[in-house]
Structure 1
Amino acid sequence: MHCLWGLQQLDYKFELKGGTSLSKGYGLIDRFSEDIDILIHPETDLQYGPNHNKPAQVKARLEFFNGLAEAIKIPGIIEVVRDEEFDDTRHYRGAGIRLKYESVNPLPEGLKAGILLEVGFDQVAPNRPCTISSWAYELAVESGIADLTDTRAVDVPCYEPGYTFVEKLQTISTKFRKQQADGDMPVNFMRHYYDVYCLLADASVKEFIGTDAYKDHKAKRFRKADEPDLTRNEAFLLSDAETRKAYADAYAKSRALYYREPALFDDILARISRRLPEL
């Protein structure tokens, strides 16, 4: 919340997608956002379309990301650095910028240090304006703290949850396929199962499922190597007992991500399983 407010104070125009939009924007999930998926609009005519892959265009995007890291100044943030681990080093349509602050207490296990802005040019429309708040700010207001600065980010365009839902399905499918191939468990991969579970309870998402827009977006996002018929996609079935246990254990280890008691992994799979024929 505070960092998004800070970006607004700097007059950046931006839109959100991913976990931050779902938790802080729409209030649909009860977990901390490890990173902020954000599109920050360039002030210049920066080209980032799918065919803009000339070396000069790629270089211009890299310079844009580097320039953001140098320009962002937010009260309470002691250092802004580029986090190249999250860079799209081939075409630079996305890059990581980490906002560092002084921690009063040690970080819980499973949480990353600082605030990561995953800046990119992925689809962020359709969207709705949302006010991004936090439990800490709301508690401070309720407590009547004097001279409180309102650091909420107001009217932030947040990606429609139904479209995020489709992209979560694709992420689960792709990450599962890669995990089965190399044996490495992606960091906090299990949060996507939790997010899908929560989104399946949202009225707007349920209305979106099965529409032409849903089918078109799914066809656009799912990769050739991923099974589009989810009743046959092992990422959602987890038929192998050993794999299911490994995933349940990984989910249990991600407990620090949630600020309310999360659903049991078996309950998550059960809800998803019931809806697979429609998805």
Structure 2
Amino acid sequence: MNARPDKNLLIEVATLKGMKESFVEKDWLVVQVINTIKNINMDGFEVVFSGGTALSKAHNLLFRFSEDIDFRVLVRPELRNRKSLSSFKNAVIDALRADGFPVEDNHVRARDENRFFSIDLEYETLFPRQDSLRPHIQIEMTARDIQLPSLTLPVSSFLNELAQKPPEVPSLSCIDPVESASDKLSAIAWRIPDRIRGSEYDDPSIVRHIHDLAILKDRALAFKDFPALVTQSMQEDDSRAKNDLTLEGMSVAEKFQKMMNILATDTSYPDEYKRFVEDVSYAKTGQAPTFESAVNAVRELINAQH
């Protein structure tokens, strides 16, 4: 990891970007982590940057802060076993530690025979912690093929952008935004009906997918095979519900109907959405989609499935 930036520089960049200093600091750290993972070279394994952070930091499509780092891991067929996937997981942990990131063993979680694992990286901050920021950087790795060809893009921190310095990550394989839209639509189709607000694992930031889909809508609708992508994503997510077990085996149309009914009747969602946008969006005033327009965008994407 490069030397941490000077506090005054972080303050200056935050002022220019119109955001809190702690966001600029974490953004810089996130990009350093991405660079470390990108440089892992293990035969038979390829990482593809995905999720909201890829959409904001690589594709420059979202103007919201995203603190999680998601990767798909493309694995050669003969290596899709617990032992080989464990070796890859350990290679990621070793690379992070070698670059100065403290990885505690109890902050590493794996499931499905290491096809999925996550790492929570604690970090020291120069600024007061924000309620809207986690006290750690969350890395999630999922061994799963991609449906569309990846795109090669650079990734730069806010600091390097404003200083007009080269990106810290000159090139990185990134998931296609249309596939991200498919994944996000599938995610809310089961996560919203499965959600128990206030429970131990409740995630109020689930509304981020609604926000992002509003921005990805036109791109997704322009792709003629988008319905097929959504069907595939929903098949892969079919058994992921933990609370509402009736979702498994339910038709695509039924899942969407159930989700949209919740969004139409649960009066907490507009407030959660508004709070989310206020906390993490750095879009210009009036440019972030409202809850109503975002839900309408989701409805258009659902109607395109027919």
TM-score by length of 2: 0.71
**Shift of residue 41, structure 1, vs aligned partner:** 6.6
Match of 1:270 in 2: 296
What secondary structure, in the 3-state scheme, does the structure 1 residue paired with 2:111 have?
coil
**Shift of residue 121, structure 1, vs aligned partner:** 0.8
Structure 1 position 29 matched with structure 2 position 92: no
Match of 2:260 in 1: 236
Aligned amino acid, residue 209 of structure 2: H
Deviations 1:43-69 (A, max 9, x none): x99722xxxxxxxx4254334323421
Relative CO higher for 1 or 2, CA cutoff 8 Å, sep ≥ 6? 1
Residues 34-49 of structure 1 correspond to what in structure 2 (within 5 A)? 34-39=67-72, 47-48=79-80
1:3 and 1:74 in contact (8 A); partners too: no
Moved more, 16-25 or 66-75: 66-75
Q: Evaluate the alpha carbon distance shift between residue 194 and residue 11 of structure 1 in structure 2; reply closer, same or farther with a 3 A threshold.
A: same
Residues 97-176 of structure 1 correspond to what in structure 2 (within 5 A)? 97-124=119-146, 125-141=148-164, 150-176=166-192
**Shift of residue 207, structure 1, vs aligned partner:** 1.8
Match of 1:79 in 2: 102
Structure 1 position 246 matched with structure 2 position 263: no
Structure 1 position 188 matched with structure 2 position 188: no
Structure 1: any 5+ residue segments left out of the alignment?
49-56, 142-147
What secondary structure, in the 3-state scheme, does the structure 2 residue paired with 1:72 have?
helix
2:86 and 2:114 in contact (8 A); partners too: yes
**Shift of residue 234, structure 1, vs aligned partner:** 2.8
**Shift of residue 4, structure 1, vs aligned partner:** 2.0
Q: Evaluate the alpha carbon distance shift between residue 84 and residue 187 of structure 1 in structure 2; reply closer, same or farther with a 3 A threshold.
A: farther
**Partner Cα separation in structure 1 for residue 290 and residue 185 of structure 2:** 19
**Shift of residue 265, structure 1, vs aligned partner:** 1.1
Aligned amino acid, residue 4 of structure 1: I
**Shift of residue 178, structure 1, vs aligned partner:** 0.8
**Shift of residue 174, structure 1, vs aligned partner:** 0.7
Structure 1 position 4 matched with structure 2 position 62: no
**Shift of residue 158, structure 1, vs aligned partner:** 0.8
Q: Evaluate the alpha carbon distance shift between residue 70 and residue 208 of structure 1 in structure 2; reply closer, same or farther with a 3 A threshold.
A: same
Aligned amino acid, residue 58 of structure 1: R
**Partner Cα separation in structure 2 for residue 266 and residue 21 of structure 1:** 25
Structure 2: any 5+ residue segments left out of the alignment?
1-30, 239-247
**Partner Cα separation in structure 1 for residue 74 and residue 301 of structure 2:** 37
Q: Evaluate the alpha carbon distance shift between residue 230 and residue 25 of structure 1 in structure 2; reply closer, same or farther with a 3 A threshold.
A: farther
Q: Give 1:214's match in structure 2, choosing from 229, 232, 247.
A: 229
What secondary structure, in the 3-state scheme, does the structure 1 residue paired with 2:183 have?
helix
Q: Evaluate the alpha carbon distance shift between residue 139 and residue 256 of structure 1 in structure 2; reply closer, same or farther with a 3 A threshold.
A: same
Moved more, 123-132 or 215-224: 215-224
**Partner Cα separation in structure 2 for residue 248 and residue 225 of structure 1:** 29
**Shift of residue 212, structure 1, vs aligned partner:** 6.8
2:73 and 2:141 in contact (8 A); partners too: yes
Deviations 1:181-202 (A, max 9, x none): x874424111111111111133
The alignment-based identity, stated in percent, is 20
1:96 and 1:118 in contact (8 A); partners too: yes
What secondary structure, in the 3-state scheme, does the structure 1 residue paired with 2:104 have?
strand
Q: Evaluate the alpha carbon distance shift between residue 216 and residue 251 of structure 1 in structure 2; reply closer, same or farther with a 3 A threshold.
A: closer
Coordinate RMSD, CA, aligned: 3.2
